[in-house]
Structure 1
Amino acid sequence: MLKTETLPNTIYIEYTFKIYPLQPASEILIAELGQLGFESFVETREGVLAYLQKQDWKEAILDSIFILKNPDFKISYRSKEIEQENWNVTWERNFNPIQVDDLCTVRAPFHEKSNSKYDIVIEPKMSFGTGHHETTHMMLQHILAHNFEGKSVLDMGTGTGVLAILAEMKGAIDIDAIDIDHWCYLNALENVERNGCHHIQVLEGDSSTIPHHKEYDIVLANINRNILLKDISVYANCLKRNGLLFLSGFYYDDIIVISAKCIEVGLKFEKNIEKNNWVAVKYVF
């Protein structure tokens, strides 16, 4: 049985946005909020629920959100404090299963088992990575499109652990899943066990937590632009020759600066997937 520890009762600020028309304003709003440090999002029939740790909140946090000033959309919002333990009630009410390329389903424990080749059960608990956001969805697409049989894999910023879980389902036999957030670390442990995985080691920390002198066939990193730019050289140093690096968590316009850094350390751009201006990029070492 998985042992978990009791966490301090972290307080989150929950924003409820009502949006009309819903698209593309909902996607743009999520993208802008993500840049400000909002951790989790739930898309509803009327708009978006967005969550930010209270310690990161400030009075003027929404002042720089351009979509709120766009006259083409009517967006109203309210906010309240919410404790971690109560967030599950919210996502259970709003979380719908997703399908990726008709091969993979990501669902919650209370949904019926799917007929997909890869059926992943995720209980996010404030962690990023249900597959609903473009970056996670595209990283899942990359994994589905590539051979993971017998591969060693590093999953940086693992969040719920969904990418590592799919990697094992596709045949990876040695996977390190790392996240700096303690809550994500515990959540990934739970999801790994929930999906019957046996080849995933979940670690808590940043890129300095990567086991020394270890090399990987594939590195997955779905974080954000600034952390990626800082750590790309670290990822390259732990990649085997001809290894693959998949990066996401940034916009299409950022490919230039991300690729420039990759070229510096010997990585070659190969392809990217784009969705609503977010991208997931493949590099070869």
Structure 2
Amino acid sequence: MEQIYLEYTFKVTPAIPGTEILIAELGYAGFESFVEQEQGVIAYIQKQDWNPEILKDIVILKNPDFKISNSFTEIKQQNWNQEWERNFRPIVVDEICTVRAPFHEVPNTKYDIIIEPKMSFGTGHHETTHMMIQFILKNDFKGKTVLDMGSGTGVLAILAEKQGAVSVDAIDVDNWCYLNALENVERNECHNIEVFEGDASLLSGKRYDVIIANINRNILLEDIPVYANCLNEQGMLYLSGFYKDDIPKIQERCEEFSLKFIENLEKNLWVAVKFIN
């Protein structure tokens, strides 16, 4: 069955930091994909997850310090191809890892990840994905068993294997992300990644050396107990998908399950955090 999406176009003044704050709040509300623009952002949500009052609790829309207008239209998911091809440019993270589309020139970096994102989240352009890539690049994944929760395009799972992980489970609740990750895993000739469609209920009885979860604050707060139960001794937990002001809540929740805060990265008010079991 073909999924239908609603495409919201937001014009934001001032665009910085207004666009970043808006994206954070839209993520909490259920929007799953974003294309940042010079004057704002285009945001996508599945029609089945939408309701007429979806923007009612978006606080920044009521903030007099920002002028924000929006319009929306209904689209079919295959229309995304033209949209991302117009906007998707290669990115290079720390001069080590390139994330690009199949039609881009082959780069001269250690890692070359080819992603065809379509409607899935995770091209590396968004701050949260960018920071998670940085964490994977600077930490030891050799011989590790890894979970990529909320895997989207599969970009983080793919990089984890390229960094030496021997087994990677990539899980996303969205069917389109699941199908897209399967395509991208094959496209990057990965052999140690299994892709699953579902949520944290799939983790019963599973154990990992490393868990990566780039979702949103509310889901993370709910699922942190599950992640803690799945981590091996001295296992690492990397979390992102939330705003800097959310760190105390995330840290408090992790500490309830003996997860120790190690460090965080920050990019344009978004953060990624590292904990150890």
TM over 0.5: yes
**Cα RMSD over matched residues?**
1.7
What's the % identity of the aligned pairs? Answer: 68
Deviations 1:121-160 (A, max 9, x none): 1111211111122211111111011011111111111111
1:149 aligns with 2:142: yes
**Could you say which residue in structure 2 is the equivalent of 1:202?**
195
The AA in structure 2 aligned to 1:28 is I
**TM score, norm. by length of structure 2:** 0.93
* Whole-angstrom CA distance in 2 between matches of 1:265 and 1:28: 29
**Could you say which residue in structure 1 is the equivalent of 2:213?**
221
* Whole-angstrom CA distance in 1 between matches of 2:76 and 2:118: 11
**Could you say which residue in structure 2 is the equivalent of 1:37?**
30
**TM score, norm. by length of structure 1:** 0.91
Name the SS for the 1:23 alignment partner: helix
Deviations 1:216-256 (A, max 9, x none): 11111111222222221221222111111111122222222
1:201 deviates by 0.7
8 Å CA contact 2:203, 2:226 repeated in 1: no
Consecutive unaligned residues in structure 1, runs of 5 or more: 1-7
The AA in structure 1 aligned to 2:20 is E
The AA in structure 2 aligned to 1:253 is D
1:96 aligns with 2:89: yes
1:158 aligns with 2:151: yes
Indicate which of 229, 233, 247 corresponds to 1:241. 233
**Could you say which residue in structure 2 is the equivalent of 1:25?**
18
The AA in structure 1 aligned to 2:112 is D
Consecutive unaligned residues in structure 2, runs of 5 or more: none
**Could you say which residue in structure 2 is the equivalent of 1:112?**
105
8 Å CA contact 2:157, 2:193 repeated in 1: yes
* Whole-angstrom CA distance in 2 between matches of 1:73 and 1:262: 34
**Could you say which residue in structure 2 is the equivalent of 1:264?**
256
1:115 deviates by 1.2
1:280 aligns with 2:246: no
- The worse-fitting range, judged by mean Cα deviation, of 257-266 and 169-178 is 257-266
8 Å CA contact 2:211, 2:236 repeated in 1: yes
Query: Aligned pair in 2 of structure 1 residues 150, 96: CA closer, same or farther (>3 Å)?
Result: same
* Whole-angstrom CA distance in 1 between matches of 2:24 and 2:246: 14
The AA in structure 1 aligned to 2:233 is R
- The worse-fitting range, judged by mean Cα deviation, of 142-151 and 52-61 is 52-61
8 Å CA contact 2:28, 2:217 repeated in 1: no
* Whole-angstrom CA distance in 1 between matches of 2:58 and 2:219: 22
Name the SS for the 2:104 alignment partner: coil
1:20 deviates by 4.3
1:265 deviates by 1.6
* Whole-angstrom CA distance in 2 between matches of 1:227 and 1:73: 28
* Whole-angstrom CA distance in 2 between matches of 1:30 and 1:267: 28
Indicate which of 48, 60, 63 corresponds to 2:53. 60
Deviations 1:165-214 (A, max 9, x none): 000111111111111111111111001011111110111111121262x4
Name the SS for the 1:130 alignment partner: coil
- The worse-fitting range, judged by mean Cα deviation, of 139-148 and 127-136 is 127-136
Indicate which of 181, 189, 195 corresponds to 2:182. 189
1:53 deviates by 1.3
- The worse-fitting range, judged by mean Cα deviation, of 163-172 and 122-131 is 122-131
The AA in structure 1 aligned to 2:228 is A
1:36 deviates by 1.3
1:47 aligns with 2:43: no
**Could you say which residue in structure 2 is the equivalent of 1:177?**
170
1:69 deviates by 4.4
| Equivalences, count | 277
